[in-house]
Amino acid sequence: MSNRKKTTIQDIANYANVSVGTIDRVIHNRGKVSPLKKKKIEEAIKLLDFNPNLLARTLALGKQFRVCSLFPEAKNSGNYWNLPKKGIEQVANTYRDFGIVLDSHEYSLFDESSFVAHAQVIADKNPDGVILAPLFEKESKVFVEILEEKNIPYIFIDAKIPDKKPLSYIGPDSKRSGFIAGKLLHSLLREKDDILIVNMAKGVKNSAHIGIVEEGFRDFFESQDDNVDWNINSLTIPSTEEVDVIKELTKYYIKNTVVKGVFVTNSRAHLISEFHKTHELDIKLVGFDLVEKNITEMKSGGIDFLISQSPVFQGTRAVQSLFDYFVYKKPPAEIQFVPLDIIIKENIDFYLNSQ
């Protein structure tokens, strides 16, 4: 059986540098298209071995597919959650001519009731599919049980919930990402240096993936045959507001003066880096994601390693998977792990230029 990737409508659009609507007009010989564009599209169809009947099938369905997304709110342009949202919006716009309608919802990471409220609104709309970041585990379980009762397919991104079976999970291998973070921090420390894991969440017990990430981090140190008893502690800060983070870190560091390494389990390592610089603390720091403030802190030397979890790709792949499921009746892979890129000061510009 051939393992060659199926050519998609978007592949043709990218090659010919046109919209999918223009491709439709050429295939069905309707509407005005410049001779140059028409030639380029026909060339792409032939070169990429695209079957126009698939496009005809899409258009023949003659219906809209409403996709609802439910992510943590992004209060500013540099917030991590703008990135998967960007990916979703890009692909939804591409497929808009083929009936994809996107309905975006956002909840507060520090208020379960906001998640419940938006989840109820989505359930009442009876969408064709849902893309969900299930960071509140208990509330997410209730929500997806409602979706399952309504036979509404759903996709998890960024985090997943044990014992639930979404149409697909698209995101990092959370345990492995924690393990990698442990390995990176270990490379920067001396034996028996004290380590702090910083979680910024309302509560780890109800955060679907933080506990798994931390478990992977600790697993690395336990796997080492170095007979070193590493002192690893956790600090959970129920806020991402700078004033709250400063308050909690100050209290912790007053009592724990020998911390030499910190691992931040979300995309806000920049808050810790800023605190370290203000207080002239020489503490190694590992975190996640190429968000604007993390980039600034890494370039200034405050963050040693960032692990990028391809958030834009998570969003684009989620919409593409639902589109293929709606139109071609093709179920996606149950698990679609994204690559985990290790970013350092010396290669950060390469990753920024390639986005």
For residue 268, the SS3 value is: coil
For residue 87, which amino acid is it?
A: G
- The residue-averaged pLDDT of 311-329 equals 92
* pLDDT for residue 76 is more than 60: yes
Residue-wise pLDDT tens digits, 103-140? 999 999 889 999 999 999 999 999 999 999 999 999 99
Q: In whole numbers, what is the pLDDT of the chain averaged over residues?
A: 89
- The residue-averaged pLDDT of 151-159 equals 96
The predicted structure's pLDDT at residue 229 = 83
Task: Say if CB 155 and CB 322 are below 8 A apart.
Answer: yes
Residue 27 φ then ψ, to 5°:
-65, -40
Count the Cβ atoms, other than its own, within 10 Å of residue 151. Answer: 7
Domains belonging to the chain, first-starting first, are 9-61 (1.10.260.40), 65-172+310-339 (3.40.50.2300), 174-308 (3.40.50.2300)
For residue 302, which amino acid is it?
A: G
CA nearest to 232, candidates 262, 195, 183, 193: 195
Please compute, for residue 120, the number of CA atoms within 13 A of its CA located in the half-sphere on the CB side.
Answer: 6
Higher pLDDT, 31 or 13: 13
Provide the edge-to-edge strand list for the sheet that holds 259-264. 232-237, 194-200, 259-264, 284-288, 305-308, 341-343
- The CA-based angle 331-323-85, given to 5 degrees, is 110
For residue 14, which amino acid is it?
A: N
- The residue-averaged pLDDT of 39-45 equals 86
Q: Which helix (H) or strand (E) holds 17?
A: none
For residue 82, the SS3 value is: helix
Ranges assigned E (strand) in 172-254: 194-200, 232-237
CA nearest to 231, candidates 257, 194, 261, 262: 194
Q: Which helix (H) or strand (E) holds 306?
A: strand 305-308
